[in-house]
Every structure is written in structure tokens, then in C-alpha cells.
Amino acid sequence: NAGVTQTPKFRILKIGQSMTLQCTQDMNHNYMYWYRQDPGMGLKLIYYSVGAGITDKGEVPNGYNVSRSTTEDFPLRLELAAPSQTSVYFCASSYEGGRTEAFFGQGTRLTVV
Amino acid sequence: AQSVTQLGSHVSVSEGALVLLRCNYSSSVPPYLFWYVQYPNQGLQLLLKYTTGATLVKGINGFEAEFKKSETSFHLTKPSAHMSDAAEYFCAVSEAGANSKLTFGKGITLSVRP
């Protein structure tokens, strides 16, 4: 099993550009999450989804959008990239929300210049 | 609201020494508690978790943690550090609701000296 797969692994964006971070999981998990990780700050939840067609904001949603058209895929869209969005982004999935183990992708390192 | 406090950002131990990484939480309901480990340039993976039942939880790679409700703590320990334990460690808490979410601490970097 591949688990949680994120693409790309690295990306450099110019200020004002847009991009989509892809995330797919093959474990048939209903719950999926996007986090950003900044040095010394831990992981902050951007958006999450409890099933196909259902998404909700996390702690730091500004500047991002998500969609969940299938159980497997949960892309994160950055519109009008800003230097403050320079970060490492992790996608994760779990079987029963916060009660069960979250499985993480390898991360996407994004730099906005 | 739930929260996690991991005091300090860096711990350094000698190989073979005891590892102790501290975690305190706050939660308005009985929590689920987790420790995750992140090796360089990788995602997080679960070390161990406490849900209900036995308060001493054993995880992978010889790590264990004890849930102490009176102290609102869930400290991670390993009797003898190995060089391969060098990584970043995150404590996380969630509440028992159906759509509960994980809240992470800021993480602690563990270095192991030869």
C-alpha cells in the first residue's frame, strides 16, 4: 500500500502565483487533513474533511482552499501566493478522526519568493 | 479548547542514557493522547497512543509513555537512547468526539551524542 501520497515534493513559487498541492490516499479513510509546519511552531491545521463533499476550516485557513470530490483525493489550492505561505505542507488521513492514528504523507516544501 | 505544551525545543542525551521528553495537555473532556516522531525530511509516524485503559502505554522502538490525569501529563521515555532515535518528537491531543481533530505541540528535537 502506498498510504498517503503528496506531490510535488518541492516547489518554488513567485509572489502572486497559484498552485495546487495534490494529496491522495489508498486506505479508504474518510478523514483527511492539511497541515503546515513552520520551524518551532509544530503543525497547524489548515483545512480538514470528514468525507467526500464535506470540508471545513482549521486553525489557519486564510489564503488556501480545498475540495473533496472523492474519498481518495484532497487537493490544497494556494491562490495569490505570499511569502508567509513558505512552509512545509503535510497531508494526513485517519479512519476515525482524532481518535485513531493519522497517517502522513512525505510533505511538500514550498518556497514563495 | 484543547492544547499541548512541550517545554523546551531541544534535548540532548548521550547514547545509552535515559530519554525523557515532557508533554502536558489541557482538555475539557477525557483526552486521546499521541506521540509522533519525524525523521529528517519525512512525514510524521505514530510512536504510541493512549485512548482508554492502561495508563502506561508501550510503543515502537522501545518508547513508552504514562498518562497521569492528576498531572495532565503524558511524558515520553526510553531507558537507553540509540543514535537512531535522533529526530523531532511531537505530542498531540484530541477529544473523544466523532469529528475530533489532533492538536499538536511545538515539537522537541532530540539529539543523541556518541
CB B48 within 8 A of CB B35: yes
Q: 504514562: which residue's cell?
A: B66
Residues of B in contact with A41 (CB under 8 A): 106
* pLDDT tens for each residue of A75-109: 999 999 999 999 999 999 999 888 889 999 999 99
Residues of A in contact with B90 (CB under 8 A): 42-43
Q: Please check the confidence at residue B9 and state whether its pLDDT lies above 70.
A: yes
* pLDDT tens for each residue of A44-59: 999 999 999 999 999 9
Write out the DSSP string of B18-68.
Answer: -EEE--EEE-SSPEEEEEEEE-TTS-EEEEEEE-SS-SEEE-GGG-EEEEE
Question: Which whole number is the average pLDDT over B57-86?
Answer: 96
Other CB atoms within 10 Å distance of the CB of residue A100? 17
For B97-113, b where at least 16 C-beta lie within 10 A, e where not — what string? eeebbbbbbbbbebebe
CB contact under 8 A, A102 and B44: yes
Q: Please check the confidence at residue B8 and state whether its pLDDT lies above 70.
A: yes
Nearest to B100 among A35, A40, A99 (CB): A99
Q: For chain B, say whether A60 makes contact (Cβ under 8 Å).
A: no
CB contact under 8 A, B9 and A45: no
